[in-house]
Homo-oligomer: A and B are copies of this chain.
Amino acid sequence: MRLTFHTDYALRMLIFLALREGEQTTIREIAEAYGISRNHLMKVAHKLQQQGYLHTTRGRGGGLSLARPAQDIRLGRLVKAMEPDLALAECFGPDNQCVITPHCRLKGVLGKALKSFLDTLDEHTLAELTGRGARALKRDLGLIPVRTA
């Protein structure tokens, strides 16, 4: 069980943008800071924009920024918006062929566990990921110089 790469990258992209709140950021900057593919990040940014998580401004001086304050971004809702289907087992999908589906209780139990997962994530916001420790994260991402003694 894994989140998709797109969800993983979306979380990292939003962490980056939260650390630069109020500034414009380019996809190139984020791709270089994390060492990940620009092409993937472009797709992720597109989906995040569709879902209302980020603004894009075109042209010179343009770029990406958070569409809402980091403290209003709940992580469960974000994961749910980014994952393509959360189809934990075959019985969740549209091509379900499992013959016991009409009388099986597994889907209900898995659905309850999935709800626990998302509810726990919803107890946390993007702001919590970037609040305490923001300076250290900015250093990890090369946004401020590493202090040398």
Q: Chain A: residues with CB nearer than 8 A to chain B?
A: 1-4, 7-8, 11-12, 15, 33-35, 75-76, 79, 83, 86-90, 97-106, 109-110, 112-121, 124, 128-129, 133, 136-137, 140-141
Contact = CB atoms under 8 A, between A and B. Distances in A.
Contact of A121 (B105, B109, B133): B109
Contacts of A90: 8
| Copies of this protein in the complex | 2
B136 A99 contact: no
A99 B1 contact: no
Given A100-B140, A101-B140, 5 more contacts: A35-B99, A104-B140, A109-B128, A109-B129, A116-B117
Which 4 residue pairs are nearest across A and B when measured between Cβ atoms?
A103-B136, A116-B116, A113-B120, A117-B117
